[in-house]
Structure 1
């Protein structure tokens, strides 16, 4: 299989690419990034692109499955409009191009609580993206909604603090349903989902975090 990945330089994306390159069922992994990356592998093709110019890269978006885990923080982006450009616009445009190029399988990392009618900006943005990509009618679409993620060497202060608090609570037998999910486990689940041929709706439990996967044909 040939995998297409956006968000390859993030925590989940790094684990995902590493696992894809080690997976014998994938013979080619194409990643679309904004800056060059220092990864060497015979199966890997790196496309450095400007996501604002899809006309320059749309012909390269051809394969069997898209893994979409692109995202940024409000602080890193510098504002809501800038964050939405990365978290919504870029992902939707890539999905749209993939559909136009007859890619059949689309896998999206969304977020727990994503809802297009939410009063919370982040949750609303994620929910709006989910609804938008559903309307593209891929042959198969899988949407993961993890809760708090455990990222290696995370620089997100709030996330690190929150993870420590929850882990401490877990030791006391509290908040078990909110146990942070390691990104490598999420990546593994994404890859496994790409190998499953099924229709309808299902929910996938990873550790103590529920990731809801909607598959639509």
Structure 2
């Protein structure tokens, strides 16, 4: 299969990239972002864009893909709803509507967040915007569309968050995260499990379209990791 990954420099995106490159049935991985991902691999290609809302000039680079792992996200901290909507809802839909036209048989996996509000009426701004994004994506006629809602994530294989506060948090909790993941599989994931779950969704589908932490763990074979 050929796989597109948006946000491959983030913590979840790094995990998705690592698992996709290691998979025998993945022939090509293309990352899409504002800068090169900095890795070298025979399967790997970069698509660098300044404008992540406009794909009209690069459509030929986005054809013939079987899957898209959309791991691109931004914090809502300090943002008003209009700004967060643009960088979350509008950016995601700009990519997804282009891809569904070019690759209608694609499986699209969107990394949302635990607590996303699909009623779009809750008090938390970020949750409403995430829910609105999920609702719009679920209406698109891809072969498969899956919303991943991870909770706490254990970074493996040397993967680090780009956010300084998260790096501090993970350095402090590193000794206990493996134990927490085993004891609380409905609440704690690893970057490897998320990547494996994404690949499984493409290969075999998933039992539901919105997957919470426990569902992702089960789909990615969490008990084996």
Fold conserved (TM > 0.5)?
Answer: yes
* 1:148-179: CA deviation from partner (whole Å, max 9, x where unpaired): 233443335278659968x979989xx94764
* 1:175-201: CA deviation from partner (whole Å, max 9, x where unpaired): 947643222221111112111057x63
The answer to whether residue 153 in structure 2 is matched with residue 149 in structure 1 is yes
Matches within 5 A, 1:1-217: 1-49=1-49, 50-62=51-63, 63-75=65-77, 79-80=79-80, 81-104=82-105, 105-115=107-117, 116-151=120-155, 152-154=159-161, 155-157=163-165, 161=169, 176=184, 179-197=187-205, 201=208, 209-211=214-216
Assess if the C-alpha contact under 8 Å between 1:36 and 1:48 holds in 2.
yes
Quote the Cα distance in structure 1 between the aligned partners of 2:97 and 2:2. 18
* 1:55-102: CA deviation from partner (whole Å, max 9, x where unpaired): 222332221111111101134xx5234433332222111110011112
Q: How many residues align?
A: 206
**Structure-2-length-normalised TM-score:** 0.77
SS of residue matched to 2:204: coil
Instruction: Supply the RMSD in Å over aligned alpha carbons.
Output: 3.3
Quote the Cα distance in structure 1 between the aligned partners of 2:143 and 2:210. 19
Quote the Cα distance in structure 2 between the aligned partners of 1:4 and 1:113. 26
Runs of 5+ in structure 1 lacking a partner?
Answer: none
Assess if the C-alpha contact under 8 Å between 2:7 and 2:33 holds in 1.
yes
